[in-house]
Amino acid sequence: MLTRAARSLWRSGASRSICSSSTRLQEATPSSTEQSKEEFLNRFAPHAGTLNPPEFPSNFLPKGAVPAEGAAAAAIPDKLQFNFFVPHETVCQSEKVDLVLMPATTGDFGVMPGHVPTVAQLRPGVVTVHKELDKDVTKYFVSGGFAFVHPDSTADICAVEAVKVSDLDADAVRAGLQEYTNKLAAVQGKGDDYEVAAAQIGVEVYSAMNAAIGA
C-alpha cells in the first residue's frame, strides 16, 4: 500500500513538474528575451561581488539588426559567392558558383549557398569548383591553407599554393614522390626531426598530387 501511494505521489509530482517545464518553455518566446535577461541580471547582482555582469550575444548586434529568427527565414541566394587566394595571385574573386568541394584536415566537405559558418584547415588535396553544377567544373590542387564560410553565403579559400589539376605533370609528380620517399627512408632513425618532417611533408603533398591525377 505504501509503495502504491509513493508511486501515486511521484507520478502526480512528475506530472506537475513536466507541465511546469512545458509552460516555462512556451513562455520563453523571443519576445521575452529582454525580460529574461533582466531577471537573470537581477539574480546575478547579489552574488557578483567585483565581477562585471556577463555579456549576451544580443549586446553585440547593431541597433535595428535582423533577429536570428528573421535571418534564418531570409531567402538563401541561388549562388555561392566564392573567393580563392594564393600569396602571388587571385584565383577567383566574387565568383558566383553552385558548389565548392574542399579537402579539410577533418575530411572533405562541400559548400553551397546557405552553408553554416565554418573555419577549416585544408590539407593537400583537390578543391573542386562547380560554377554550374556538374557542367562547368574546375579542379585545383592545393598544398594547404584555410577555408572560411560566412553566414551570408560567401566563402573564401586562402591557400599556400594552388594549380589546376589539368596542369600537373604526371611524370614530374611521380619523380617527386619517389625522391621524397627515398629521402624519408634515408633520414629516418638519424635523429634529425626537421629533415624527417620535411620529407614527410614532401611525401604527403606528392602522394596527394599523385591521387589527384589518378596516377
Identify whether residues 119 and 50 lie together within a single domain: no
Identify whether residues 46 and 116 lie together within a single domain: no
Domain membership of residue 192 (yes or no) is yes
Q: Which domain holds residue 197?
A: 168-212
Domain membership of residue 122 (yes or no) is yes
pLDDT above 50: residue 144:
yes
pLDDT above 50: residue 9:
no
More confident residue, 75 or 119: 119
Identify whether residues 45 and 94 lie together within a single domain: no
Cβ–Cβ < 8 Å for 92, 79: no
Q: What is the mean pLDDT of residues 197-203?
A: 90
Identify whether residues 176 and 103 lie together within a single domain: no
Cβ–Cβ < 8 Å for 110, 147: no
Gyration radius of the chain over CA positions: 28
What digits encode the pLDDT tens for the residues 129-139? 999 887 889 99
Cβ–Cβ < 8 Å for 123, 143: no
Give CA separation, 77 vs 112, 113, 132, in Å. 10, 6, 15
Q: What is the mean pLDDT of residues 156-160?
A: 94
C-alpha span between 203 and 209 (Å, rounded): 10
C-alpha span between 183 and 97 (Å, rounded): 41
Structural domain count of the chain = 3
Residue type, 72: A
Q: Under the phi-then-psi rule, with left for phi > 0, alpha for psi from -120 to 50, and beta for the rest, what region is 70?
A: alpha
Q: What is the mean pLDDT of residues 68-75?
A: 56
Cβ–Cβ < 8 Å for 114, 199: no
Q: How much is the pLDDT for 146?
A: 96
More confident residue, 41 or 88: 88
* Cell, residue 57: 550575444
Domain membership of residue 182 (yes or no) is yes
What digits encode the pLDDT tens for the residues 10-64? 444 444 443 444 444 344 444 456 777 787 778 777 777 777 777 777 777 676 5
Domain membership of residue 133 (yes or no) is yes
Q: Determine if the pTM surpasses 0.85.
A: no
- CATH of residue 151's domain is 2.60.15.10
Lowest-confidence pick of 46-50, 83-87, 196-200: 46-50
Domain membership of residue 174 (yes or no) is yes
Q: How much is the pLDDT for 67?
A: 53
